[in-house]
Amino acid sequence: MSRRFLILVIAIIVFLIGFFFILLSFFYDRGSWQFPLFLGLGCALLPAGLFAILSDVSFSDLLLNTIIQRVNSLADQQIESVDNRVIELSGKLDTSLETLSKSTSYLSQSKNLGIIMAYPDRRAALETFLPYLSLYVANDNIPNRELVIVASSVKGVIEKYPDLGRRFSQVIEQASKCDCNVKILLTHPAYSRYREIQESRQQYDIAKEILHAIAWLEGRGLKPNQIKVYKGTPTTFMIATNERMLLNFYPYQTEAFNCFCLEVQDTGSDVCIYRSFYDNHFHKPWIGELEERDHYIQTNSLGYIHEFLEGPVNDPKKVLEDMKGPYGDFFVIDDEGTFYLAINIRGLKRQIVYERSIDGNQKVINIGDVLDIKLLSLHEENEGTWETIGQIKIDPDYRNGFWEETIRKRTFKSLSMLCLFDAENENVFMHDSSNPKLRGQPLPMLYKWLTPMSNITK
């Protein structure tokens, strides 16, 4: 039994006893002693019991109201919390649905565009793409296999990451030996100077990288007709087969190999990334002049000539084995009345020993630190006349040197000889030319007769 219920019962009993004493007092005379006693007790107990009953009832209503208010308040809070949670969940659901919709749209668009994968930089991309290339070029079951590379100098492949460079070299060598059509489009060295300042490079750095890449590719079995240079700064590094393609974009202020890559495939779609880049980034620049109605589209890609310089001894058999060259080579890019000429000297010794006799005597050619570059013309009026076009300074420690120039209003085919004369020393060997202006004159230290040349018509 609860305490409150017990108090209510006692209050009712007190009320009833008080009511009973008041009724009992009416049975006695007013002058008797019983009348005032019972009346007084009744008047005392009845109001007290009544007050207790009313107080209990009032407290119960108040308590009940309080409880009801508290319950309502808690209910409102719970309802509000539930509403907020529903709103929150609804918002998250909307966000999730929106994300799912975008993801679905992205996947659909990626499929149409032919996107296979995105990579943070070129190294991550090549680690996946080179194994594919190796299997591709060696697979005789794939008809019309083709390997296409568009790059600035391929330095980012052959030098930046030596481990990947070795694998790339293996792919090139394998492709050159297989029935795989290899074509490589590099940047014209004359246009590379525009990148030197942007990339904080030294003068000739990028040009030398390009020419080094050409020699490197030739050393892996590629022929000159498989390599061209493009008259413009690069925009995208690309390696492609007739199935898939790797794209690496050039930012203005840094090298491309630090930028992200996309791997795409040929889907046959009109919006296919592969087809767009293959056509516009390789095929059209490579193919040359195209007749378009009443005019021609002039190509911006050109072939080149790469030859080794001879000398300084006119008979290489006389030179000691450890003194033999070649000490340099040159590159020519002929372009309609103008040609680009680059000369690269490497390891040119200060003294070239030749004809050492049994008694220990030997002949020596001394070579200084500055070479004058001269051209000999084929034109009759200028025949036998040397034209100085520049100088090469030889590094005193490594004995290397580089020079490049674009020769205006002339074709390379109009020249007879390319020569490098020592600015300090004369060659002891003499011209045996039939030209009286040359006969008996000292030969240049390094030279190349340009006529006849088997590749002069390339």
Give the model's pLDDT for residue 416: 84
Cα torsion angle, 268, 270, 272, 278, sign: positive
Domain ranges of the chain: 1-113, 118-301, 304-449
Residue with the larger pLDDT of the pair 163 and 41: 163
CA distance 341 to 335: 11
Q: Taking the model in full, what pTM does it have?
A: 0.73
Please give the helix or strand (H or E) that residue 150 lies within, else none.
Answer: strand 146-150
Give the model's pLDDT for residue 440: 85
Mean per-residue pLDDT, 450-456: 54
CA distance 238 to 245: 7
Model confidence at 448: pLDDT above 70? yes
Give the model's pLDDT for residue 262: 93
CA distance 56 to 406: 114
Percent of the chain clearing pLDDT 70 (strictly above): 71
Bridge partners for 244 per DSSP: 265
Pairing of strands 351-354, 363-366: antiparallel
Give the model's pLDDT for residue 56: 59
- Three-state SS for 94-129 is HHHHHHHHHHHHHHHHHHHHCEEEEECCHHHHHHHH
Residue with the larger pLDDT of the pair 153 and 57: 153
Model confidence at 314: pLDDT above 90? no
Question: pLDDT for 179-209, tens place per residue?
Answer: 899 999 999 999 887 777 777 777 888 889 8
Give the model's pLDDT for residue 420: 95
Give the model's pLDDT for residue 456: 37
Bridge partners for 430 per DSSP: 442
Question: pLDDT for 211-246, tens place per residue?
Answer: 999 999 999 999 999 999 999 877 899 999 999 999
CA angle (104 as vertex; 100, 107 as ends), nearest 5: 135
- E strands, 293-385, where? 295-297, 301-302, 305-308, 328-334, 339-345, 351-354, 363-366, 370-377
CB contact at 8 A, 339 and 410: yes
Mean per-residue pLDDT, 317-344: 88
CB contact at 8 A, 304 and 224: yes
Location of structure tokens 């002949």? 363
Question: pLDDT for 261-307, tens place per residue?
Answer: 999 999 888 889 999 999 889 988 888 655 555 555 667 899 999 99
Question: pLDDT for 48-107, tens place per residue?
Answer: 665 566 565 555 555 556 656 665 676 666 666 655 665 666 666 566 656 655 656 666
Say which CATH architecture domain 304-449 belongs to. Answer: Sandwich (2.60)
Q: Which range (68-72, 250-254, 401-405) has the least confidence?
A: 68-72
Model confidence at 384: pLDDT above 90? no
Q: What is the DSSP letter of 138?
A: T
How big is the chain by its Cα radius of gyration, in Å? Answer: 50
Mean model confidence pLDDT for the chain: 80
CB contact at 8 A, 48 and 10: no
Location of structure tokens 């009511």? 19
Give the model's pLDDT for residue 458: 37
Q: Which two tokens stand for residue 46?
A: 């009845």
Model confidence at 347: pLDDT above 80? yes
CA distance 358 to 104: 84
The number of CA neighbours under 13 Å toward the Cβ of 298 is 4
Give the model's pLDDT for residue 244: 95
Q: Among 177, 91, 98, which Cα is nearest to 134's?
A: 177
